[in-house]
Chains A and B, each alone.
Chain A
Amino acid sequence: MPESKGTFRKEKLGEMYRTMVRIRRFEEMAQELFEKGGIIRGGIHVSAGQEACSVGVCSALNNEDAILTTHRGHGHSIAKGTRLPEMMAELFGKVTGLCHAKGGSMHIADVSKGHYGAHSIVGSNMPMAAGIGLAFQFNGRGQVAVPFFGDGASNQGAFHESMNLCAIWKLPVVFFCENNHFASSTRADYSTSVEDISTRAQGYGSPGITVDGMDVLAVHEAVAEAVKRARAGEGPTLIEAKTYRYYGHSRLDKKFGSYRDEAEWNKWKARDPLTVAEKLFGLTETEIEGHQAAVEKELAEAVAFAEASPEPEPEMALEDIFG
């Protein structure tokens, strides 16, 4: 029996909330494991605080649509449905990892879920998203490509060239900018010529809008509208979500570096995207606890899988070069 619209909406909202909890807890756990030392090598870039962006975008996409994310891409990956055990194994450097332990945290990908990779050179994913958009236009199956990027990447030439290409060819691409206010440690109000990055769309004759990046529904609605335009062959949209990065840039960066203070942090934390969603969705304590418990179980399984998986043999460094 088909569900009523109300029931469906409630279930979808629950799923969106659970995904936000999943992202938050995955990242807290990853950060914790990283700080222990010897488990997760290299570095990780945590996106806690930005969950409404990940979930707002991916809840407006189908499995056949593509995302391309960044060095700070755990949230986007999880929201697109990336398999958690294999993702955790990649962070652990295990052979069962999504990238066979060659990409690590900064290159998570799950192409079977339409996740065309985290791309760690800032801005590099946008030209590639334009090309995937071109492939989608050739295919004619109505798919859409979404590159995630930050305020920092909006100052890269790659952003501007990609916006132009997508605009002249009317490619089905939604540019999603998470303005978390910091490019590494450099404040956006110093590095970026405009207050609202969305206004840069005007330079490419494309619509640009700024949304509240702490409100998952506001993000979802803006993206759904842009996806509709893209599928209809009307070209790209630039969406800027104002959001905030709770952690430092990466491993060596303290939470409160010289570039921000606790008061600013607290101001944003007061509008935590999970809390905002709990209120928006009218979730009860029991429901919230239910989601949290389910996520803890999933994550425990993911960590157990990663722990139990073997490390690759050194010679496996020679595999996956050519196809």
Chain B
Amino acid sequence: MPNIKFSEAITEALREEMERDEKVFVMGEDVSTPSVSPLTAELAERFGTARVRNTPISELGFTGAAVGAAMAGYRPVLDMRLVDFTLVAMDPIANQAPKLRYMLGGQVSIPLVIRTPQGGGVQNGPTHGQALESWFMKIPGLKVAVPSDAADAKGLLKTAIRDDNPVIFTEYRSLYPSVGPVPEGDVAIPFGKAAVKREGSDITLIGVGSEVPHCLEAAEALASDGISAEVVDPRTISPLDTEGLAASVSKTGRCVVAEQGHLHGGVGAEIAAALQAMLFGSLKAPIERVAALNTPIPVQPKMEAFVLPSVEKITAAARKALDYA
């Protein structure tokens, strides 16, 4: 199994899907410009600039256009550059794409993928460094994938492109350089299936996106103290594999949920609510949550680190859950 970067896995998935299905096309700001968008620019060379199409800075316009093209039988993969820019295009994303099939009584399908690079740790500040997957998971009709490694990035993106429904495909920028084994060939990973990324028996660390590698590091730190932590990744948060998550927590009895988005109304709140309802009698401690503090994401590195989740915060939360009598 070759080791490739997360970013290369994205490009591979796009290339293979574009080769497989001529209805797939890529659209977004600077997507065919090599110096700005290396992930997609090589696709422009291969497939041409009509199928890998630069757009004006016009998020509302081109997102709505992607919905229209999907309605008319194409399979657009929109590159949103940064998730923060989706907020300019919330009408097509939240009102149209997820609801058209329903509102029109099943007369149309919207096979649309919106890739949303996102996340902090890069000193880009409050409107260029957010993690917003929890916004999208509460919209019926949208699916939300949050890959945490190269293999999942490729396999989930292939599934997203083949899905006949709109998918928000979140890519944490901090993960682009990460390298991991990716199976060769046409391997699509189904939505709604959590993955155990490290096995353990004392506590479950559930990570979302960027926090999966942080949970793996935290598990390593805990292991040096003789604590066996299991790390589980939901991989998609809509649909959410509550059964898969509960299977791990029912075994360990303790749980931390870590995400980079804001604490208030976050993915962890949904997961914790589901787990307590399913496992109330067998939980040995309250479910702990680690997330961004409820403040905009500041630019200054020390302040930014203070606000965002980290390996240390996850480790501390795990210890708190383990210490609970």
Could you say which residues of chain A place their CB within 8 Å of the CB of B58?
Answer: 161, 164-165
Number of interface residues of A (CB under 8 A): 43
- Interface residue B318 (Cβ < 8 Å from any Cβ of A): no
Stretch of A73-81, A97-105, A292-300 on the interface side:
A97-105
Determine whether the beta carbon of A161 is less than 8 Å from that of B60: yes
Determine whether the beta carbon of A99 is less than 8 Å from that of B67: no
Measured CB to CB, the nearest residue on chain B to A97 is B105
Number of interface residues of B (CB under 8 A): 40
Q: How far is the CB of A314 from chain B (nearest CB, A)?
A: 15
Determine whether the beta carbon of A127 is less than 8 Å from that of B74: no
- Interface residue A182 (Cβ < 8 Å from any Cβ of B): no
What is the bound-complex CA distance between A138 and B22, given in angstroms? 10
Q: Please report which residues of chain A, range 66-123, place their CB below 8 angstroms from some CB of chain B when the two chains form the complex.
A: 66, 68, 97-103, 107, 109-111, 116-117, 119, 121
Partner of A164, one of B56, B76, B100: B56
What is the bound-complex CA distance between A130 and B64, given in angstroms? 8
Question: Could you mark each residue 58-84 of chain B with 1 if its beta carbon is under 8 Å from any beta carbon of chain A, else 0?
Answer: 101111111111111110100000000
Could you say which residues of chain B place their CB within 8 Å of the CB of A107?
Answer: 103-104
- Interface residue A134 (Cβ < 8 Å from any Cβ of B): yes
What is the bound-complex CA distance between A110 and B104, given in angstroms? 8
- Interface residue B95 (Cβ < 8 Å from any Cβ of A): yes
Q: How far is the CB of A170 from chain B (nearest CB, A)?
A: 12
Could you say which residues of chain B place their CB within 8 Å of the CB of A117?
Answer: 100, 103-104, 107-108
What is the bound-complex CA distance between A128 and B103, given in angstroms? 15
Could you say which residues of chain A place their CB within 8 Å of the CB of B56?
Answer: 161, 164-165, 168
Could you say which residues of chain B place their CB within 8 Å of the CB of A98?
Answer: 104-105, 107
Determine whether the beta carbon of B108 is less than 8 Å from that of A320: no
- Interface residue A158 (Cβ < 8 Å from any Cβ of B): yes
- Interface residue B306 (Cβ < 8 Å from any Cβ of A): no
Could you say which residues of chain B place their CB within 8 Å of the CB of A323?
Answer: 101, 106, 109-110, 164-165
Measured CB to CB, the nearest residue on chain A to B56 is A164
Determine whether the beta carbon of B61 is less than 8 Å from that of A165: yes
Could you say which residues of chain A place their CB within 8 Å of the CB of B140?
Answer: 321
What is the bound-complex CA distance between A109 and B96, given in angstroms? 14
- Interface residue A131 (Cβ < 8 Å from any Cβ of B): yes
Determine whether the beta carbon of A319 is less than 8 Å from that of B106: yes
Measured CB to CB, the nearest residue on chain A to B61 is A161
- Interface residue B102 (Cβ < 8 Å from any Cβ of A): yes
- Interface residue B92 (Cβ < 8 Å from any Cβ of A): yes
- Interface residue B45 (Cβ < 8 Å from any Cβ of A): no
A131-B70 in contact given A158-B61, A161-B60 (Cβ < 8 Å) = yes
Determine whether the beta carbon of B103 is less than 8 Å from that of A322: no
Could you say which residues of chain A place their CB within 8 Å of the CB of B16?
Answer: none
Determine whether the beta carbon of A124 is less than 8 Å from that of B73: no
- Interface residue B141 (Cβ < 8 Å from any Cβ of A): yes
Given A99-B104, A323-B164, 18 more pairs with CB closer than 8 A: A68-B68, A107-B104, A116-B68, A116-B108, A117-B103, A128-B67, A131-B67, A134-B65, A134-B74, A135-B68, A145-B68, A157-B60, A158-B91, A161-B58, A161-B61, A320-B106, A323-B109, A323-B110
Rank and list the top 3 A-B pairs by shortest CB-CB distance, nearest first.
Answer: A127-B64, A131-B68, A161-B61
Sample (29) of A-B pairs whose CB atoms are under 8 Å apart: A99-B103, A102-B102, A116-B72, A124-B64, A124-B91, A124-B92, A126-B64, A127-B60, A127-B61, A127-B65, A127-B92, A128-B64, A128-B68, A128-B71, A132-B68, A134-B65, A138-B69, A157-B61, A158-B91, A161-B56, A162-B61, A164-B58, A164-B61, A319-B106, A320-B101, A320-B105, A321-B102, A322-B101, A323-B110
